[in-house]
Chains A and B, each alone.
Chain A
Amino acid sequence: MTRRLRKHGTSGQALIITSLIIAVLLLSTTYYVFEMKRSVMKDVTTKSNSCLKAIRLSTTNTMISALANFTNGGEREVFITDFNRLSSNIRKHYYEGECLLRFTPLNSSSYLNGTYTLCDQNGMGIASSYVSFVVNYSGLTEAYCWEFSTNVTTTLILRSTHTSNGTEKTVNVTCQMLNENEPALMKDIAMFYQNESDGPWISTDSYSNVTTNDFGNGTYLISFIVQAQDFLQVSASAHDSRDVLVVANATSTQV
């Protein structure tokens, strides 16, 4: 009798476990369906993301081109001209809707019409541009408005030390190139020195004893020997790999 009762009492357990498993299966199926729908939605949203990414890339490239032009002797107005060209092309070649790119170059205490250049005597040289953009897109089914800013900055940091042997100085100049505060490679560099206050800048190209060590991380060590008294200033004029020219001056310290 007891055995029969025990047998009857446990017969429902398997069914409960089965129903639990089925419930788990149902829940996982529902979750799977939900995830599928979400991935489809993600595919739809990436289209607008891809479009924005392409426009951002074009604006960055345009800024690099304009900054390279400006720092190599071009007009400041090149930014306005180039962005007008880009905006017109984006408008013309966007068939799925109307896409308008508007730009506002930054005007602040340091930036003038979106550009800023610095060449101080403490070894810092900066060439930068900053422009804000608004993209208005209106298609058949949807409309977007994106706002973003792009900053292109090339920085050159110069540190100079020298050892003295009478009037002969062995100069070691450490140059660090940065693009948007990240280490970047140089395309070329020209070194100059000044051995008397208000004296002429003399190029080191005429010396055969100039050695350049490239550390591969945007840092370069340039060494040369010059004739100078106590006063010694160095100047570097370098192009980064984007062809942006930046100039920095530094007073050499004796070690």
Chain B
Amino acid sequence: MRLLRDNKGQIRIIEAFFASLLILSTIALIPSQNPVIDTTNEALQLKGQDALTTLDSNGYLSTLIENENWTVLRKCLISSLSPAIWFNLTVFDENMSALNNTPISSGSPVSEKIVSAEYVCAGISRQYRVYVVRLQLSRVT
């Protein structure tokens, strides 16, 4: 009878229950953060693809290739990509013959995990040309 009337501890139990729920939900949060950090190969590939697409706006990328302006192309990629990303770019013609005689890269590869993004670049000049641009990327670990 006394136990039924004594309800002082109930709210404490509810509070403890809520607190444990809070802790559990916080723990549940931790694994869901992993993909957002962008460490996946797919995210790296997407970054490379986006950098090339941005560079190709208004036909700038094809103009650089046509003029064989590899130094400017390298500088553009350095500006577009994070310093924590290593890259190596190779430009091919339609027959897959490499066009750049000098390496367009940010140094030596820093990781064995290298992803590749391939981009078909159409020229805007009167004499139509199609280039295949291969961008290899690796994240500094």
Instruction: Collect the chain A residues with CB atoms within 8 Å of residue B53's CB.
Output: 50, 53-54, 57
The CA-CA distance from A61 to B126 in the complex, in Å, is 11
CB distance from B11 to the nearest CB of A (A): 5
The CA-CA distance from A126 to B62 in the complex, in Å, is 26
**Contact in complex: B19, A22 (CB < 8 Å):** yes
CB distance from A216 to the nearest CB of B (A): 18
**Contact in complex: A50, B50 (CB < 8 Å):** yes
Q: Does A221 contact B (CB under 8 A)?
A: no
Query: Across the A-B interface, how many residue pairs have beta carbons closer than 8 Å?
Result: 115
Name A56's closest neighbour in chain B (CB-CB): B53
Q: Does B130 contact A (CB under 8 A)?
A: yes
Among B28, B42, B62, B120: residue with most chain A CB under 10 A: B120
**Contact in complex: A36, B128 (CB < 8 Å):** no
Instruction: Collect the chain B residues with CB atoms within 8 Å of residue A23's CB.
Output: 18
The CA-CA distance from A62 to B127 in the complex, in Å, is 10
CB distance from B111 to the nearest CB of A (A): 21
* Main SS at interface, chain A: helix
Instruction: Collect the chain A residues with CB atoms within 8 Å of residue B25's CB.
Output: 26, 29-30, 33
Q: How many residues of B are counted as interface, with CB atoms below 8 angstroms from the partner's CB atoms?
A: 41
The CA-CA distance from A58 to B123 in the complex, in Å, is 8
Instruction: Collect the chain A residues with CB atoms within 8 Å of residue B11's CB.
Output: 12, 15, 19
Q: How many residues of A are counted as interface, with CB atoms below 8 angstroms from the partner's CB atoms?
A: 47
Instruction: Determine, out of B31-39, B67-75, B78-86, B102-110, the stretch whose residues face the partner at the interface.
Output: B31-39
B residues 75-124 in Cβ contact with A at 8 Å:
94, 118-124
**Contact in complex: A65, B122 (CB < 8 Å):** yes
Known: A19-B14, A86-B120. A78 touches B128 (CB 8 A): yes
Q: Does B140 contact A (CB under 8 A)?
A: no
Name A12's closest neighbour in chain B (CB-CB): B11
Q: Does B1 contact A (CB under 8 A)?
A: no
A47-B42, A57-B57 given. 18 additional CB < 8 A pairs?
A22-B18, A29-B26, A36-B36, A39-B36, A40-B36, A43-B46, A50-B53, A57-B122, A58-B122, A61-B123, A64-B59, A65-B125, A74-B126, A85-B128, A86-B122, A89-B130, A89-B132, A243-B126
The 10 sampled A-B contact pairs (Cβ below 8 Å) are: A33-B25, A46-B46, A58-B122, A65-B126, A68-B124, A94-B118, A95-B118, A242-B59, A242-B124, A243-B126
Chain A residues at the B interface, C-beta cutoff of 8 Å? 12, 15, 18-19, 22-23, 25-26, 29-30, 32-33, 36-37, 39-40, 43, 46-47, 50-51, 53-54, 57-59, 61-62, 64-66, 68-69, 72, 74, 78, 81-82, 85-86, 89-90, 93-95, 242-243
6 nearest A-B residue pairs (beta carbon): A61-B122, A22-B18, A58-B122, A64-B124, A62-B122, A65-B128
